[in-house]
Amino acid sequence: AQSVTQLDSHVSVSEGTPVLLRCNYSSSYSPSLFWYVQHPNKGLQLLLKYTSAATLVKGINGFEAEFKKSETSFHLTKPSAHMSDAAEYFCVVSDETSYDKVIFGPGTSLSVIP
């Protein structure tokens, strides 16, 4: 069965310092993995996606994530946090074979301290 674990429900960083949001997954198939961002009372926006090409994926707004099959991880990073990065972040896994097998993680709330 597929599952997604986001290891931190809340992360707080100072502006200008690195961001690390952790995601581990389990999947019986070759997964596609996504990170989405949600600002308060808004829809979700795609940050980046992994679909079996390069293991290091670059996304929008300076975010990137590395797919590590041996660790079943897909952690999201950014070298320097900006105030506008404060939001909820969701890790998502899909096995590409069934539409109802898209699993959202519970989310990590990122706070950025001035």
Partner 1 sequence: DGGITQSPKYLFRKEGQNVTLSCEQNLNHDAMYWYRQDPGQGLRLIYYSQIVNDFQKGDIAEGYSVSREKKESFPLTVTSAQKNPTAFYLCASNPGLRTGGFTEAFFGQGTRLTVV
94 makes contact with partner 1 (CB under 8 A): yes
The stretch near partner 1 (CB under 8 A) out of 16-24, 58-66, 69-77, 105-113 is 105-113
User: How long a stretch of residues is the chain?
Assistant: 114
Bridge-based pairing state of the strands 108-113 and 10-14: parallel
What separation, in Å, do the N-terminal and C-terminal C-alpha atoms of the chain show?
Answer: 41
| Among residues 32, 66, 77, 86, the one that binds partner 1 under rule CB under 8 A | 32
Maximal C-alpha separation, the chain:
44
User: What residues from 40 to 79 belong to the interface with partner 1 (CB under 8 A)?
Assistant: 41-46, 49, 51
- The one-letter code for the residue type at 26 is S
Asked if residue 46 lies in contact with residue 104, where contact means CB atoms within 8 angstroms, the answer is no
- Give SS3 for 101: helix
Which CB atom, from 18 or from 60, has the smaller least distance to partner 1?
Answer: 60
Report, in Å, the least distance between residue 80 CB and partner 1: 26
| Among residues 5, 7, 77, 104, the one that binds partner 1 under rule CB under 8 A | 104
Report, in Å, the least distance between residue 32 CB and partner 1: 7
d(CA 93, CA 28): 11
User: Interface with partner 1 by CB under 8 A: which residues?
Assistant: 9, 32, 34, 36, 41-46, 49, 51, 90, 94-97, 99-102, 104-107
